[in-house]
C-alpha cells in the first residue's frame, strides 16, 4: 500500500466513525416518539435475573416472554460477580 493510500484509508475510517457517532448520539427526527427508545422493559428483565440469582424462580406474571430472562440468567450465572450482585440488589 502506498503511503498516500494509507492516509486516504485512515481518513475514510475516521469519517465513517464520526458519522456513526453523530447518528448514534444525535438521531435524526424521524417522527418516532421519544418514548419508543426508553426501554422500559429492560428493568423487568433485570429484576427477574436478580430474583433468579436469589433462588426465586417464580416469575409471578407472564406479560413479557421469559426465555430472554432465563438466557440472561445463564450468562450472568457464569460471572464470578453475579453472586455478589444478586445479594446486593435484592
Shared domain for 24 and 52, answered yes or no, is no
Domain with 53, as residue range(s), is: 37-88
How many CA atoms, within 13 angstroms, populate the side-chain half-sphere of residue 52?
A: 20
Whether residue 44 sits in one domain with residue 61: yes
Q: In terms of pTM, does the model score above 0.85?
A: no
In 1-90, where does DSSP find H-type helix? 3-25, 42-53, 67-77, 82-88
- Structural domain count of the chain: 2
Q: Are residues 21 and 46 in the same domain?
A: no
Same structural domain, 60 and 26: no
Q: Are residues 25 and 48 in the same domain?
A: no
Same domain flag for 44 and 20: no
- pLDDT at position 68 is 85
- The C-alpha cell at 55 is 433462588
- 42 and 27 in one domain? no
Range among 28-32, 61-65, 73-77 with highest mean pLDDT value: 73-77
Whether the CB-CB separation of 88 and 46 falls below 8 Å is answered with no
Amino acid at each position: 500500500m502506498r503511503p498516500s493510500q494509507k492516509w486516504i484509508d485512515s481518513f475514510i475510517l475516521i469519517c465513517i466513525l464520526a458519522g456513526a457517532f453523530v447518528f448514534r448520539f444525535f438521531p435524526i427526527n424521524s417522527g418516532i416518539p421519544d418514548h419508543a427508545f426508553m426501554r422500559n422493559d429492560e428493568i423487568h428483565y433485570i429484576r427477574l435475573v436478580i430474583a433468579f440469582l436469589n433462588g426465586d424462580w417464580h416469575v409471578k406474571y407472564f406479560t413479557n416472554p421469559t426465555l430472554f430472562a432465563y438466557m440472561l440468567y445463564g450468562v450472568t450465572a457464569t460471572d464470578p460477580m453475579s453472586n455478589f450482585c444478586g445479594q446486593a440488589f435484592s
